[in-house]
Each structure stands twice: as structure tokens, then as C-alpha cells.
Structure 1
Amino acid sequence: MDESSRQLLNTMQRNAERLLQLSRQIVDSNKSEKEEKELHVTSGNIGTFICSLTENFQFIVHQRDITLEVRHEEVEDGYFDAEKIEKILYNLISNAIKYTPDGGHITVYIHTDKQHAYIEVKDTGIGIPPEKKENIFKRFNRLDTKMNVAGSGIGLHYAQQLAHLHKGSFTYKPNVPQGSCFIVEFPIHREAYHKDEFADNTSFFTTTSILPNPSSTDQSSKEKKATLVIAEDNMEVRNYLQRLLNQDYHIMAVSNGEEVLECLALNVPDLILSDIVMPHKDGYELCRIIKASTEWGHIPVVLLTAKSDTQSNIQGLDCGPDAYVGKPFDPFYLKAVVENLLANRQKIQRIIQNLTSGHISQEKIHETMLNEHDHTFLEKLHAQLDQHLDDEEFSINLLAKELGMSYSSLYARIKSLTGQTPQNFLITYRMNTAMQLLKSGNYTVSEVCYKVGASSLANFSRSFKRQFGIPPSEVQ
């Protein structure tokens, strides 16, 4: 048995032992709110734990060309509430990514002594003006910027509350010469916590159960394709789901629906796997928001729940998920559901990426593949591409401006619908149009070349053959 399978089995055993506690959590949301205000301290290595958290952001920062690194000195084992620290760090790193321009740098620095842990999150983003510093921790206070960043203004206030609950501090200072630096400090020695503040299993977090095998990380990341967001407020179930799916997909793991929406503001995933009963925003409400959105409505949503009564099932189906899986679930069944939804999505992407304005008007295609929002967007997209088809200088930035969208929003929308980057989709669209023109028999290869904005006949022939496997001269 390999190490990954062993970790999954160990986690399954722990979940079996805590199944009754989890079921009570799901049917009693008030208990979740109460537990939010309590500490559940476990023993482990804070450095290893934070390294594992930053792995969830690697796909996002790669897309934005942002460098995210973790630096640490000798980090000793200690005692901490992993769920509280996870929420604080997730908030800080998410904010750093949102407010750091593409190509920037984010550093998470970890240091411990025998008594305390110190975590700094530094970025090279837009920073906070001196006159705004006094209010950044106030509830609903937001920093007005030209970056048009989505958010509710509760994140820093919430993180500060969690740090104080953890008997620590949460402070801010400018990152010289540019950006922000947030510092979290909290005790890690056992004597700092009352006996009632320790979790039932005080050694849950170990080095082997948190950090992936370094020798296999690079290889497995090359093979991963799709990105999944997992929303589950129970930390152990969340870790289990992450390990179950981590071998095949990029994973972003969060604890509630609000954090899913924060993820969507940064990067559009290929699938969302969500629990139903969660604090702040439950799975039903999250699913309704996603399916009603013009930007996110195409994302497959899988809802997980321990509620098996008919009323709950009807309520779950009414909010429009693509699949509804009951707990406890068969891991092989869950993986099959995810694989099938992603495979179907990829088939649709391949069809959509080969549509032109002539195809999009067909009612059959509209009904079977595209919802109303996607259909309208593609009509506008194709109209702009047709209008500028012969302009070899026409860029994605100009396309975004014509459509009234930011570059990042356009990138996410085209990538999610077609599976291609906007630049590659522009080339694909031009070659598909070229094929239609050549098949009509009304134009020569040279005429078609310049009608689709190719810079030269050689470049056109090369791109055409790459897409269709034959040179344009052989089209009949």
C-alpha cells in the first residue's frame, strides 16, 4: 500500500470514530456557531501545517504570475487550533493575492521560540494608505482601490477576532518599500491553554499527515488538470476530501460558502464540491448564487449532505446542483461523479471552442450546451471577433475593452467556457472561420489568409495545419 492510500485509510478511521459528532454538527447549525468561539487545540508542527495551506494557492498564483514562497527558521512542534490558524492564514493570503498586481511577490515567514509562533504575510501589492491604517480592522471597512476587488469588508476583523481568541495578537505594518505586512503571534506552549481547550485527539496534526511527499509533488502537479474548490466546515472531513482528490486535481479547500465566493473572485475553478450545513453561507445558498451568476453559472456543483429525508433532498435539488451525494459516501462513487461531470464539461468545451457565429445561432446548440448567459456572451464575443477578424493587431486587451470587461474577467470566462486561454481561442476562432471560407470555394488561400488577420501566408499555413492536420491548400 502506498503512502497516499495509507493516509486516506487513517483519515477514514478517524472519521468513523467521529461520525456521530459530525452528524450532530450537520443537523444543529447552532453548535457550529458555538464551536466557532471555542478553541480546539491540537499538537503539531506549525511550519509543516502552513506549508500545506500554501499549496492550495499555487494554481492561482501561477495563473497570475505571482510568486508565493514560505520561509522559515527552525520551527518547533507546539500546540495550536489548526482550524482557527487556517482561517486566519487563508484570509491573509487571499487578500495578498487580491491586492497584489500580476507579477508580484508574496512571502509567508514563520518563526517560533519555545513559547510563541510568529507568522508574517508580506506582499508587494498596493499597500494601505497611512490615513486608512486605524480602520482596517473595523467590521465592514473596505479599502477603496482601482483594482475593483470583490469582498465584504469582514475578513480582517474576523481574522483579528480569531487571533485574540487564540490568546494572540494580529497587527499590521507597511512592507517596505511597497505593500503590506500582517503579523500573527500566538502561544504554542501547552501551559497557555486550559484543559477544556484541547481537542479530543491532541496529536491529530503530524508531519506525515500534512505535508505531501516532496519527491512526488512536482511530478503529480504536472499531471493535474482541473481545479476543484472543496467547501467543508469540518476540518477532518475537509482534509480527507483533499487527500482523496489531490492526486488528480488542483485543490482549493475552504470552510464555508463565503470563502468559496472569495475563491471565485480570484480564480474560476472547474468544479465545486460543497457541504450543505456550514456557517456564514450554506451549500444551498452558495449553489443558488453560482447557478444564477453570469460568470459562474457553468461551473458544476456537487452538494454533500448527511440529511437523507425527502424534504432535504427536494430542497437540495431545487437549488440546481449538478449532483447530490449523501454522507457517508463511497469515495470511489464520489470520484466517479467528479470525473464524469468534468469529462462532460470538457466535451462541451471542445464543441464550444469550435463554434463560430454561424453555428451559435442554431437552436439545437443553444438548448443542449449553453445556458442563456453563456449563449448571450458567446454571441457578443463572436460578433467582436468577426468585426476585427482581418485585423492582425487586434489583441485580447482590446477585446476586453470592446466587451466592457476586465482582462482577468474575460480570461476566466473564455477559459472556463472553452478550456483555452483567450489568445489561443482567438487563433482557434480565426482558423475555424478560415476553414469555413475555404470550404465555400469562393476564396483563394491567400485571400482567406488576410481575411482572418494572419501576418503572413507561412504563419497562416502553420497555424492551420496545427489545428486541422492538413495545409489549407488541401481543403476541398
Structure 2
Amino acid sequence: MSYKDQKIELGFQAIQYENTQRCQYAYMLEGFDKDWTLANGTRATYTNLPSGNYTFLLKATNEDGVWTDKLKRLNIVVTPPFWERLWVQILAGILVVLLGVWAFRFFLLRERTKNMFEIEKQRVYQFEELAQMKLRFFTNISHELRTPLTLITSPLDKYIRRGVKPDTKVLQMMHRNSNRLLELVNQILDFRKLEGNQQLRIKPHDELSVYTNIYTAYEYWAKEKNIDFRCEVLETDYTVCFDADIVEKIISNLISNAFKFTPKNGQIVLKVSYAHLQTHEDKVVTGKMVIEVFDNGAGIPEKYQEKVFERFYQLDETPNKCYSSGIGLSLISELVKLHNGRIDLKSEEGIGSHFTITLPVGYKDYEANVQEAVVPITEVASGETVVLLIEDNEDIRNYLTAELSEDYVILQADNGKDGFQLALEHIPDIVVSDIMMPLFDGIQVANQLKANELTAHIPLMFLTAKTGLDNKLKGLETGAEDYIEKPFSVSEIKMKIQNRLESRHQLIKKYQKEELFIEPTSLVDQYLVKVNEVIEAHLENSEFSIDFLCDKLAIGRSQLYRKIQALTGKTIIEYINTYKLSKAMPMLQDGSLSIKEIAFKVGYNDNRYFSRIFKKEFGHPPSHYVPNK
């Protein structure tokens, strides 16, 4: 039967010819009924049967009411509608699944689009915020650049128009502002270095001169502003490891900021200490160096303290207050991170600020990054190497200056007399001179240079149009190291200058490894002998200084510096210390005097300072060389 047949009626009758009305019937439709139904007559009616297979069961009683065990069966099939067929249901299931997948992807895509829109909206907002910060940064950096530029150009314009020389105070003001300009430019360049993955240059240090140098540099500024500036550095007898250049930049920026925002009669303190040091022999294995800078200046409001280390962020943008370039503190934060350290800030508005920087200083904190300390020698191709050009032809002089100025500092003279005076004043590393010149010719210049104790060590190269073997020999007889004939190749000149300077630096290296203070002979520069005699005569004088030495030698400080640097590769104070320590060594080995007495004998009042520089010079403390009794 069809699923559309809403009613089915089944009739039945017992096969008995007498008293059929006394027979009873019971039926059940398997698959629909759960129990037998006692019939009320001879018909069974079902309505709205679901589709499926059924079995109609029927049983009856006799006239005495006894139920028979024989059942009558009738199979009934109700055909299902098409939507209940298996293939239709499978197809419908597939459609539902596909619809679900589509709906899921639709909502996922919508959410993703929504999120992308939010992300893009946030990115645009951040971009606009960064653009505004950069705009404010460039506005403020322009303001910071314009102020010192104004203080430099205005006096210059005034004195140029009037044709008079500026006084000392104005020159000092111009010098301070030029240094400020240089500081700003250096900060910007330091940021570019950090973006280019700047590498640490960790070196071992036996003393913390970087802090005393910074203190000396800002001491004048402290006096100008009447600020109590103090430096408290805890000394240690162990070797610590850090990047001195990065530490100097960090401290300089912090101190500079402190001076900027600390009023007159204020106080700034630089304090250096150590924490959690673990040592082995004379080295720090692991440990921390704690650098603190605190002042009683304007302070930083609490709501800004988390942002002051962000790049391009300015604490105050109001035009009636101090502008800040937004570089200093951000640069400090980046450098501290580069050095594997941390920086903390405590500040209260109107009370002051307290910066604490913690840097690791053990050699195990950096492992393979630690570089061995080497004796500093000026590189040949550096801006500190001075070349003196003596040439009367302006075109040749300008051409050589343009070609050599990329690698060297160039001094020029258009005649031999002025060239010799420049050599005396600046003590160049090498002299390149023509021969045929007014006033003094090249031969006269060479004779005067070699005859003077200050300039006798300077290499000389002739660059001349005088050709022929006789002229060349005459030039070389003066002590000149080379003789180049015109026309010349500028590449040849560059190479010969470089080779000559490199050879001299190799000699200096050898000179440093050998005994410096041998008995005077023709092989030792006679001016260096004179320097040694002055130091020897005042060996026990604890007030002996560079200025004192210059006065005794009747020479300028810069001249003496370049002379000693050229001969030994050392600064003046390094050479003085080396000489004194070399005199202390035999006394220690003799053992008749105590270390403290020997320190006084060679002009050191501070016994600890004597021990520290002695260890730095010879690799071991003084006690190592005292014989056991």
C-alpha cells in the first residue's frame, strides 16, 4: 500500500458454523503495536501508518473461550515517500554537510576580513601615530639644531662684518654649541648603527677610566651651571669585561640629560658599583656592574615613564619648555639591550630622576665575544694621520690634497719656510715636498727637518721635476726616504705613503716589545733621551704632570704628544707611567724596599693606583716580582 493511504481496515472471521458470535479475537501489528489488542468485533483499523514492513498477527477463541495456538499472519508493506529513500537521504546529508561547510567558511571569511580590517585600521593608526611622532621629532631636532647653529653663525656674521676677532668667551660659547651639534649628529648615526646590527666589542678592563674621563669632560659644565657633580666609582682588583665605547655612550647621554634638566645649584651623582661577583684568579667570571645616575632636576611624571625610552618620543611638546630630540633615552635603552643589560627608572616630578643600569661584566657572560686587549696603534689610513704637503704649484697642491684627504689630515704650504714652521707646530706623520720652491727649497727643508730634534724622525718624500741620477742622489743624501719624479702617478704616491707609514708602525710595535729605556746611543732618538732625562730628574715628584714636562722641554702639548706618539705609539701619560714603572721594576726585584716605598720613590702617592697600572703594564701585580725572603 502507498504512504498516501491514511487508513487501513482489516476484517476477519472464525471458521465455525455454530455460535460464532461467542468467538473472541485478538490482533497485533508487529512493528507498530507493542502488545495484543482484544478486538471489539471482526475488524481492525489503523490510520497514518509510517512507511515500512509490518506483519499483522491474529488469533481467536472457540465458543468456549479457549485461545488457539495457531496464528494467522498477513504481511503489510507501506511504501515510503521519495524523501525517505536511502539515496535521497544520503544526497540530502551531503547537501547539508556542504551547506554547513559553506556557512563555516563564510563566517570564517567574514571574521577574517573583519580582523584584517581591524588590523589594517590599527596599522594605519600606528602608522599615523609614528608619522606624527616623526614629524614632532624632526620639528624638535630642527629646533635643537637651529639653536646651536644660531649661536655659532650669529657671532661669526657679526665679526666678519666688523672685521674683528671674537673674544675668548664667545669662542668658548661657539665651541660648546659645535660640540652639541656633533653630539646630536652622532646620536642619529648611532641609531643607524644599531639598525645595522651593531656588534659588541667586549674587552677586559683593569681600570674604569671611562667614568673618570666622562667626569672630567662634564666638570667644566658643572662649574658653569654651579651644579654639584660627583663621581663615586668603586674600584676592584679584578679584570672586568665590557664594551667601553657603548658604556661611554650610555653614561654620556644620561649625564647630558641630567645636566639639561637640572637647574642651577642642583646636584648630579654618577655612582658605579658591583653585585654578585664570582671570581677566578684575577678575573671576574660572572657578575654585574651597577651604574646609577641620579639628579634633583625636573623629574619625569609617572604617566610618561614607560614611554620615555620609545624612539622619537618627546616628554614635553609645549613650546615654552625645553625641547628634546627624542633620541637620547631611546638610544640608551637600545645600547643597554645590546649589552645584555637592563635599565630602570625611578622619578618623581619636581624631585628628580634616578636611572639604574645593570650590565654583566664577567668573561663567561659573553663567552667568545671577549676580545683580547691590544696595544692601541694609530692606523695608517685614518683621519688622525697627518701629511704635510709643501708645493709651490697651487694646482698640484690642490689635486694632491683632494686625492689624499679621504685617508689623511692634510696640511699645506706653498714655500719651504712656511712648510718647516708647520712641521714644527704640528709634527706631521710624513712630509711630501717639492725641491724647487721660493724662500727655502726642498733640500734646505730636509736639512732643517733632520737637524731639529722635534722633526728628525719624520719621513720625507721628494716630489720634483728635477730628474737625473745626480739630483736624485743629492736629494736622498739629505735623509729623504724617497724621490719621486714628475710627472707622477697619484696611485704610486698613495702606495708609497701607506707603505712608509706601515713600516714605521711595525717598528713602533717592535720598539714597544723591547726595552724602552736603554743607554743613549745613536739608535735612540735624541729628543726621547731628553724627555727621559727630565722624567728622571723629577722621578719622585708626585706633582709631575704633562704641563710640567712641556714647560721643561719648552714645547707645546700637542707637539709633544705627536712626537712621542710617532716614536713609541704611546700617549704622553702612558709613556711617563711606562718610564716610571720601568724604574720601579729593579727596585722590586732588589727587595730592599716595600711596595709602598717604591711607589713613593717613582712619584705615586696612591699605592693602589701604582699597583693597578703596574699590573696593566707588566701583566702581574708588584708583589709578583718581590723576591721571597
TM-score (norm 1): 0.48
- Greater Cα radius of gyration, structure 1 or 2: 2
More RCO (CA 8 Å, sep 6+) = 1
TM-score (norm 2): 0.37
| Bigger helix fraction | 1
